[in-house]
Amino acid sequence: MRHQNSARLAWFSGAVKNRFAVFVGVLALAALTISAAAAADTLATLRGNAINQEASAPAMAKEINTDLRTVRNYPEQPPTITHQTRGYAINLQANKCLSCHSRRAVERSQAPMVSVTHFMDRDGQVLSSVTPRRYFCDQCHVPQLDAKPLVANDFIDADALIMAKGN
Ligand code: HEC
Ligand code: HEC
């Protein structure tokens, strides 16, 4: 009997310890959440103004229009657009981009032709005209602005990475 009691006591104190551990865990989690919220507060200052003040809009950046091709960060990257695209409509009736980049337009425009992947349907079949999947050019190709990046970018080109590893 006495033996049983002490076993129960041991179980009881074990349970209390467990609950205490859970309690400490919850406290630690709460502290983490609060500190994460504080960190989020400091990150949210891209806006640069107090919450009750309206910031003045930053000056609009210029669209890069150098006609100079940019390096692709990896071979499958859709190349960025080297010229301005303001007012270039892409809709059911017209595709301004194709008026220079289609197979037949390049002789006149001297623009690079859309590559053969743009003629492939989803089964890899090469069509005679640009596939609907590649019709909306600005889904993948974007012009660039001479704006300062909002956050730093530490992207490393694959070639640079291989060199750094000495392979
Ligand atoms: C008036 C003709 C013309 C129109 C319209 C035009 N482009 Fe171009 N595009 C060019 C020429 C020419 C080049 C070659 C470099 C240069 O002159 O900018 C070029 C370059 C590019 C490049 C870079 C290709 C590479 O290999 O680096 C992309 C991407 C591109 N254009 C996409 C577009 C998209 C998307 C549109 C429609 C929103 C468009 N272009 C409309 C003439 C045109
Ligand atoms: C679904 C994404 C996507 C769409 C939509 C798209 N492209 Fe591309 N484009 C790419 C990718 C990816 C590449 C690079 C690899 C390749 O050639 O497929 C590329 C390459 C190009 C190139 C360079 C070709 C070369 O041989 O150097 C031109 C020019 C181009 N696209 C123009 C266009 C035009 C104009 C349109 C609209 C009619 C368009 N693209 C629609 C993804 C896209």
Locate the ligand 2 atom nearest the alpha carbon of residue 112 and give its number.
29
pLDDT at 27: 64
Q: Contacts from 91-99 at CB under 8 Å and sequence distance 24+?
A: 95/135, 95/137, 97/137, 98/130
DSSP H helices, the chain, are: 2-43, 98-101, 106-109, 158-164
Locate the ligand 1 atom nearest the alpha carbon of residue 95 and give its number.
37
What integer best gives the mean pLDDT of the chain?
Answer: 82
* Ranges of the chain whose pLDDT falls below 70: 1-46, 167
| CATH code of the domain in which 109 resides | 1.10.1130.10
Q: Does residue 86 form part of some domain?
A: no
pLDDT at 88: 97
Given ligand 1 and candidates 91, 100, 108, 115, which is best to mutate, with the most ligand atoms within 8 Å of its CB? Answer: 100
Q: Which ligand has an atom closest to residue 119 CA?
A: 2
Locate the ligand 2 atom nearest the alpha carbon of residue 136 and give its number.
5
Q: Does residue 31 form part of some domain?
A: yes
Q: Does residue 63 form part of some domain?
A: no
pLDDT at 48: 75
pLDDT at 38: 52
81 CB near ligand 2 (under 6 Å): no
Domain range enclosing 118: 98-164
